[in-house]
Chains A and B, each alone.
Chain A
Amino acid sequence: MNLAFDNISVTANNKQIVSNVSGQVETGKITAIIGPNGAGKTTLLSALAGLRAINTGTIYIGDDNIHQMSMKERAKLIGYLPQRSEVNWNISVRHIVALGRTPHYRKNGDEKAIQNAMLMANVQHLADRKSDHLSGGELSRVLFARLLAGEPEWILLDEPMANLDLAHQFDMADLLKSLASHGKSIVIIMHDLQQAAQLADNVIIMNEGEINAEGPTQEVLKPRIIEHVFGIKVDIVYDSGGINIHNILRV
């Protein structure tokens, strides 16, 4: 059940933000979307989540067009975590995570999913704490737990590492790998090329609303492509420890 998008365009305020892009995201894999600021990454991700109207094109998961699903069906299938965290009332962590069950509306099994999600995101010790008393990093993890509580097959994340300290970034990376190994499909927008290189099975590189390259990480993360898109020179070493990016220099 891959996610296939074909000829997608998104326009906002008469400006084309994503232009006729097509591609495939493999199921059970981690796919990183990278690219400079303003490349259209967030717009593409929210379009793939079905949250943004598209001007042209189609998005399919398996044989199902996501725009023909009911909102509930789609919400059960796709979990989405935006870049900006927002919690408007001072509610407890447990209640925030429980909101992840919104598309399901069933009493039995909810508590188990909520507990599991808190455990996975390592926020169970914060369960009774109110949102006003959370640090930025804690809030990010709590909101990720909210997404996990919905038990979606597809997990779409917009820079989830942005507020996390290094140790929690490693935890998050391990968790994402473990989720993927259990069959979850993950699409993640990242800025740190090294992190993307270590984490992702596949990479989509975007620039100016278009996809410049996509495919397995080793094939896509090439010094030539990175120089073209980001305007920086890098050395890339493939060894037993994975992919390492060195000697980053501005062109």
Chain B
Amino acid sequence: MKQSYLIIILSLSLLLTAILSILAGKVWISPLEFLSGEQNTAIIFELRLPRTLLGIIIGAALGMAGAAMQGFLRNPLADPGLFGISSSAALGAIFSIFLGLSGFWILPLFALLGAALGMTLLALLAGRSGSLIIFTLAGLILSSLTGSLTALLISLAPNPFASSEIITWLMGAITDRSWNDIYFTAPLVMIGMIALLCIAKMLDALTLGQEVAISMGVNIAMLQYLLVIGIGFTVGASVAVTGIIGFVGLVVPHLMRPLTDEKPSSLLIPSAIAGAILILAADSIIRIIPSASELRLGITMSLMGAPFFLALLYHMRRRLV
């Protein structure tokens, strides 16, 4: 499919999903009564609209981050979680809960600091070699280190409320988010997405292997730094306000790839839009399903993503054998 058609179709789908996301919930608001009455206006402007916009921002961030990661690692099974940046951000966030610090900016700020620390560690561990294996291993080490430190913080939590708050936060959600969350996330995600779009052509060149890419003038060390910045800002800012929402970065680029010419650069924008659609759709479904307490988005995504991942692996194995 032509790239421009794909982007138009995806954008229209996003618009429809966004409308559904604004209307759907415990209180259904019909399009006819959209802005009639104070209650509806309040629900829409104070609750639904920020939630929808936040869903779009983090869905786009995670989708594009996943596409960039897969392009860089040249592996369709790669996910931004693999770099350890989301878990570093999560560690930062729960550290603020652990310390009992409150205030709107504290938790996201700590999460961003965690992501920044994770990015720095990753860049230092991976070094300037540009080696794919070292980079992946550095990401895995960071992931397991932050994972164990997270477990440590939960076990050392000063009171049961703190540990329960940490666990709930880790599950990821875009419930009850405000406009402040959007003011915080949007610019950071924008910086990250610009960094990722800057490396699009370099990712294409990498299709022919690192040696050929270098021979075509691609500065691998620069590519690696921009990628870490791009993933750090997109994923770090998303985790800072929503907790960990996995699998978007894995599933979305994979669904989009057959619809494009398969060049990594052609995948970035469609994956961003489709990521936003997926998050909004999943979040709308959560609100519609009747349940005592609302399902967490992070859990829903994992429940949907894990079978997809297994199917993908099975399909790839069959192709290899």
Contact = CB atoms under 8 A, between A and B. Distances in A.
A102 B205 CA distance: 7
A86 B209 contact: yes
Given A89-B262, A90-B262, A91-B261, A103 B217 contact: yes
Contacts of B212: 80-82, 86, 146
A191 interface: no
Interface in A87-141: 87-92, 95-96, 99-100, 102-103, 105, 130
B254 interface: no
Contacts of A205: none
Interface of B: 74, 201, 204-209, 211-219, 257, 261-264
Interface string A59-96: 00000000000011011101111101011111110011
A46 interface: yes
A49 interface: yes
Nearest to B210: A86
A206 interface: no
Contact of A91 (B209, B214, B218, B263): B263
Given A92-B261, A95-B261, A102-B201, A87 B215 contact: no
Nearest to A73: B217
A222 to B, nearest CB: 34
A76 B262 CA distance: 26
Interface of A: 46, 49, 51, 71-72, 74-76, 78-82, 84, 86-92, 95-96, 99-100, 102-103, 105, 130, 143, 146, 150
A99 B74 CA distance: 16
A247 to B, nearest CB: 39
A91 B261 CA distance: 6
Contact of A86 (B208, B219, B263): B208
28 contacts: A46-B211, A49-B215, A71-B218, A72-B217, A75-B215, A76-B217, A79-B215, A80-B211, A80-B212, A84-B209, A86-B208, A86-B209, A88-B207, A88-B209, A89-B262, A91-B207, A91-B262, A96-B208, A99-B207, A99-B208, A99-B216, A100-B216, A102-B204, A102-B216, A102-B217, A102-B218, A146-B212, A150-B216
Instruction: Kindly name the residue among A72, A75, A96 whose own CB sees the greatest number of chain B CB atoms within 10 A.
Output: A75
A146 B219 CA distance: 19
Nearest to A82: B211
Given A95-B263, A102-B201, A143 B216 contact: no
Contacts of B218: 71, 102
Contacts of B208: 86-88, 96, 99, 143, 146
A49 B219 CA distance: 15
A55 B216 CA distance: 23
B118 to A, nearest CB: 26
